[in-house]
Chain A
């Protein structure tokens, strides 16, 4: 008997069908892991209460506080004070909801708390072949392990809480092939910024990406997470990387990873997940890693990106009215002129953090570049670890001391200035180089202007006080 070759996505999808799609109903998809946080869950819990429903599988659900949490230092009692009354009430309600419904939860400042997309992989909860959802569009991050992971709205949060299932139409697939070898100073963030610049912010709508090719294979798990994280910025709800030895090595031994015979069985299952040869993809896009240089955005969506030595596009050179209008509006907001270079552009803030780039590897790279150097006097640099565990690890390695000695702020774990709803934000008109994922108008604070880039570009720019090609500041050990 011959079977139809399947993609990684199709294998995971098919294995989770409680009920296939019919003419009148979408597919019913079983969810292995549901991550919840304080911002997109309150109204879902309210709905459950109104209908007298329980959480079907609290043992497949995990809560953490991250979005509206301050990242300011602990007080003398070791507590991170929440001074914002509304945020405080939201966090209290989240605690109550998790308690009432029996959901394990990592409270602010506790041992394992952190950004939801950092803690899942860190705890070994994120594993190949799983379905993972969260009321957060960057849930695509977990796809780096070969899981099908995507963001959902609050109504769907209620669906999963109550039934552990979701109604979904089967998306299309897009192969995103990146072959070649990255040059020194060019990292995973540059790959994904280049892909989004190529396809645009709506280029992946309706699709699940599978990232493949030699450049993806040679990335460690953190690099793969950075790339999958920003799938949504290309319009795709999910992005996946086939699991391999790199994946297994990362997962092995983590708190929730399978142990002993279960581990062996899991590895056997996971080895069958990669897309079959000749599996069909609905679309394909390619990128040559050999030609890639550090990338940076200049506009107000993540698709408005360019090589760091480039010049800002000219609205008058755009072929469509819509593109011209969009670029005009973006440059107006950003206070930038057509055809000017970004290198040398003075900046006010550097933010190293977010679910895109706040893991220990990101912080090690950043620390290596800034060690023995100083943040420019005119720049405020914030380093925000993605989780309490990342923070402890960084401190054990002395990275915090390196950042502080350079004049950067070392903060508590959370989403921080990526979402700017927690006290960490730009002032109107300020320019920031940010390692986060969105440069939308006001995203990092009302009137704030964001350049998205890699941690290396962010640090190099912090040192010089203006946008800098990180390849000019590489230290020998980084090569």
Chain B
């Protein structure tokens, strides 16, 4: 994974609460066995007409939001299923960060493991970002992961929370599996001390 220190990009608004993972990537696209092509299917049913053309009523289809990389979404983004296809699809569509007031637990975990930054801000900052994005699609924000700081166009800075371990992994471009593998001895000790509860091969 590429290390992520900071990013800068245009913001696009999708201020709908409780956007579930079935909207981010509908289940019928989960028959894939890799991560390719999911970006084109991201928000599929909101994004395309029956004939495959872009829906005019989907805000992210408006030309001025093309190329935006920071999605400003409503409360409880990513609720529903555990499919990691959701962050894969968002990354495939070009998003690098999602800003919301709150994220569903499993989605946030999945996003952090793939270098898609879930940025939690307070309600007021969120409202301001939505307004800015709606009024001026050229609006850019800067996100500094090291400092856990989001900078608004007016220079105002707000901090955002991220757990230290995920932050370390993102800054250094390492995944979490390596850390777990390094604990093999401790896992072995646990297994010796604790009886196996079930044996699926028995």
Contacts and interface: CB of A to CB of B under 8 A. Distances in A.
Interface of A: 15, 18-19, 23-26, 28, 30, 32-33, 39-40, 42-43, 46-47, 51, 53, 56, 58-62, 67-68, 84, 86-87, 89-90, 93, 103-104, 125, 127, 129-130, 135-137, 151-156, 158-159, 162-165, 167, 169, 171, 201-202, 205-206, 232, 235, 237, 256, 301, 303, 322-323, 325-326, 329, 419-421, 438, 440-443, 446
B164 interface: yes
Contacts of A329: 16
Contacts of B194: 15, 30
Contacts of A28: 180, 183, 186-187
B156 interface: no
Nearest to A15: B194
A209 to B, nearest CB: 13
Contacts, number: 214
A264 B199 CA distance: 18
A218 to B, nearest CB: 28
A169 B198 CA distance: 25
A24 B162 CA distance: 12
Interface stretch (B17-25, B58-66, B90-98): B17-25
Contact of B34 (A46, A201, A438): A46
14 contacts: A19-B186, A28-B186, A33-B198, A42-B32, A59-B201, A60-B198, A61-B200, A90-B33, A136-B82, A155-B175, A167-B165, A202-B76, A329-B16, A441-B23
Contacts of B158: none
A165 B180 contact: yes
Contacts of B199: 59-60, 256
Output the residue of A33, A58, A440 with the most chain B CB within 10 A: A440
Given A61-B200, A87-B31, A441-B22, 16 more contacts: A18-B183, A25-B179, A28-B180, A47-B177, A59-B200, A60-B196, A68-B31, A129-B197, A136-B81, A137-B80, A153-B82, A153-B83, A156-B113, A202-B18, A202-B104, A421-B28
B114 interface: yes
Contacts of A421: 27-28, 30-31
Nearest to A134: B82
Contact of A162 (B104, B109, B181): B181
Nearest to A35: B200
A243 to B, nearest CB: 14
Interface in B22-50: 22-23, 26-28, 30-35, 45
Nearest to B46: A441
Nearest to A303: B18
Given A86-B32, A167-B180, A301 B197 contact: no
Given A135-B82, A151-B82, A256-B198, A446 B180 contact: no
Interface residues of B, number: 59
Contacts of A442: 22-23, 26, 45
B76 A441 contact: no
Interface in B152-202: 163-165, 168, 175-177, 179-181, 183-184, 186-187, 190-191, 194, 196-202
B110 interface: yes
B121 to A, nearest CB: 15
A86 B31 contact: yes
Contacts of B30: 39-40, 67-68, 421
Contact of A440 (B74, B80, B106): B80
B80 to A, nearest CB: 6
Contacts of A163: 177, 180-181, 183-184, 187
A420 B27 contact: yes
A420 B30 CA distance: 11
A438 B165 contact: no
B23 A440 contact: yes
Given A59-B202, A419-B27, A32 B197 contact: yes
B102 interface: yes
Given A26-B165, A62-B200, A326-B16, A167 B179 contact: yes
A68 B84 CA distance: 17
A201 B76 contact: yes
Contacts of B200: 33, 58-62, 103-104, 125, 256
A468 to B, nearest CB: 27
B81 A137 contact: yes
A237 B105 contact: yes
